[in-house]
Amino acid sequence: MTTASALARLLKPVAALSAQMSIADVADRLLTPEHKAFLSLPIVDDDGRPLGLVSRTALQDIFMQRFGRDLRGRHAVQEVMNPAPLVVSLQTSLEEAAKQITGQLQYPITEDFILVDAQGVYRGLGTVLDLLKAMESRIAQRNQVLRKALVELKESQTQLVQSEKMASLGQMVAGVAHELNTPLGYVKNNVQLLRELSTPLFDLADAQAALADCLNDPNCDDARLHSALQAAADARDLASPELLMEDFGQLFSDTLYGLEQIAELVVGLKDFARLDRAMSEEVDLNDCIRSALVIARNGIKDKADIVLQLGDLPRIPCAPSQINQVLLNLLNNAAQAIDGFGQILLKTWADDSAVFVSLQDSGRGMSPEVLARIFDPFFTTKPVGQGTGLGLSISYKIIQDHGGQIRAASEPGRGTRFLIRLPRPQALPLQRSA
Ligand SMILES: Nc1ncnc2c1ncn2[C@@H]1O[C@H](COP(=O)(O)OP(=O)(O)O)[C@@H](O)[C@H]1O
Ligand SMILES: [Mg+2]
């Protein structure tokens, strides 16, 4: 259905009148049942082009006067018609027609509007009421479309938020894999070394067992005893257990250290990725910072020194994996903002009402124009593939959901500081003693 045909559906094929017709005849016609719904009748010239509209009220005005009908009834209707009626071409769209008509409409509405074809020839009448009804249902239709679009938009936003989460998860997994690799590497080396170093010990044990056999054997002659003694002494020299003791001690403690690091990473990973049971958990934000650092360390260590100034914090109820996501995003942004090698300073403190985290980098900073937009979804200054522009808007939402605030201050060339404030639960009201 084209929009032009929408207007055609409003058309009522009312017969047009000639300008010479008398006022009385027109009035009679307007009284007939088929014209009841119309406020006016159209007048056209010999070629069928509209000349004007005669309205019910104009006729009424005449007939209400004393002797009105007798005095003017025989006059040509041209005398009382509106020579500048509302004329709309059938080619016009419904919206355009509505705009045109409501723009020229007189109140109270006393006339209908004339519909003409492309040649300007009269085709029929339309009533303003029908037009408004048609517009209303069209708007309702549009609303429905818009509502659907809104739902779809919300869905795709959820998906994008999810994909930003997955992207930071991917980054995190890559980082952790790298972090695991280092201790794994030397734990493996150490174990191989331990195996090599322990071989002479087994040889020594064998030689000593052979010597013991010989000593227990009454048939063991001097020559055999001598060579068994020699073999045991050689094996002892080779193995040199006194020296090995030191090496073994070192290797075992290094290996254990590596394994502890691996265990720590695994715990960190579990902490980081744990599914939050709502916001019920009471969390020390310093723990969140430490676990985010375990994950982000790999991406940062070549870009910046991390300086921690963590104060004593009261536990607050929050969703730790969400807070971790915020911290990870801030850390990644900070690292990405640093050219060469810089510093990231993390501070935490608390007052009576809230817990604060400040993250300051010595990166390239931002212009006021960029700073004003950083929390907007999809705002990014990074090349395609490197930035989604969602990190900070998600972070903003997370902090907001926690009842807190996140703010940024920045100076081009000097760095950027993010400040997070998370409220402490309302302190219990003081008990007054009676
Ligand atoms: N620490 C920072 N230093 C300088 N600019 C930053 C910093 N953090 C964020 N920005 C700016 O804010 C923009 C939006 O950040 P974000 O929402 O995390 O999206 P993304 O990192 O994907 O670009 C970044 O593209 C960058 O221009
Ligand atoms: Mg980011």
Residue 393 CA, closest ligand 1 atom number: 17
Give per-residue pLDDT as tens, 251-270.
999 999 889 888 877 876 77
* CB 179 less than 6 A from any atom of ligand 1: no
160 in a domain, yes or no? no
**Boundary residue ending a domain (254, 272, 290):** 272
Whether 281 and 259 map to the same domain: the answer is no
Whether 315 and 408 map to the same domain: the answer is yes
146 in a domain, yes or no? no
* CB 42 less than 6 A from any atom of ligand 1: no
282 in a domain, yes or no? yes
Number of Cα atoms under 13 Å in the Cβ half of residue 76: 8
Kindly state the helix (H) or strand (E) to which residue 35 belongs, with its residue range: none
Q: Give distance in angstroms: CA of 173 to centre of ligand 1.
A: 21
Give per-residue pLDDT as tens, 98-119.
999 988 888 888 899 999 999 9
**Boundary residue ending a domain (249, 272, 295):** 272
* CB 380 less than 6 A from any atom of ligand 1: yes
Whether 267 and 185 map to the same domain: the answer is yes
295 in a domain, yes or no? yes
- CATH number for 416: 3.30.565.10
Q: Give distance in angstroms: CA of 157 to centre of ligand 1.
A: 19
162 in a domain, yes or no? no
DSSP letter for each residue of 303-368: TEEEEEEEPP---EE--HHHHHHHHHHHHHHHHHH-SSSEEEEEEEEE-SSEEEEEEEE-S----H
**Boundary residue ending a domain (221, 255, 272):** 272
Whether 280 and 418 map to the same domain: the answer is yes
- CATH number for 71: 3.10.580.10
Whether 325 and 380 map to the same domain: the answer is yes
Structurally, how many domains does the chain consist of? 3
Whether 98 and 85 map to the same domain: the answer is yes
pTM exceeding 0.75: no
All residues at 6 or more sequence positions from 41 whose CB lies less than 8 Å from its CB, including other chains: 14, 16, 17, 26, 29, 30, 35, 53, 54, 125
CB 15 within 8 A of CB 128: no
Q: Give distance in angstroms: CA of 164 to centre of ligand 2.
A: 9
Nearest to 366 by CA among 356, 374, 355, 378: 374
Q: If you search the block for the tokens 């990014």, which residue do you land on? A: 380
Domain extent for 192: 172-272
216 in a domain, yes or no? yes
Whose atoms come closest to the Cα of 375: which ligand? 1
139 in a domain, yes or no? no
Q: Whose CA is nearest to atom 18 of ligand 1?
A: 391
Six token digits for residue 209? 């067992």
* CB 370 less than 6 A from any atom of ligand 1: yes
pLDDT of the chain, 434 residues: tens digit per residue: 455 578 999 999 999 999 999 999 999 998 889 888 899 999 999 999 999 999 999 998 888 888 888 888 899 999 999 999 999 999 999 999 999 998 888 888 889 999 999 999 999 999 999 999 999 999 999 999 999 999 998 888 777 777 776 666 676 677 677 778 888 988 999 999 999 989 999 999 999 999 999 999 999 899 999 999 999 999 999 888 888 888 899 999 999 988 988 887 787 677 666 555 556 678 899 999 988 888 788 778 889 999 999 999 999 999 887 898 899 899 999 999 999 999 999 999 999 999 999 999 999 999 999 999 999 878 899 987 777 788 898 899 889 989 999 999 999 999 999 999 999 987 544 444 44
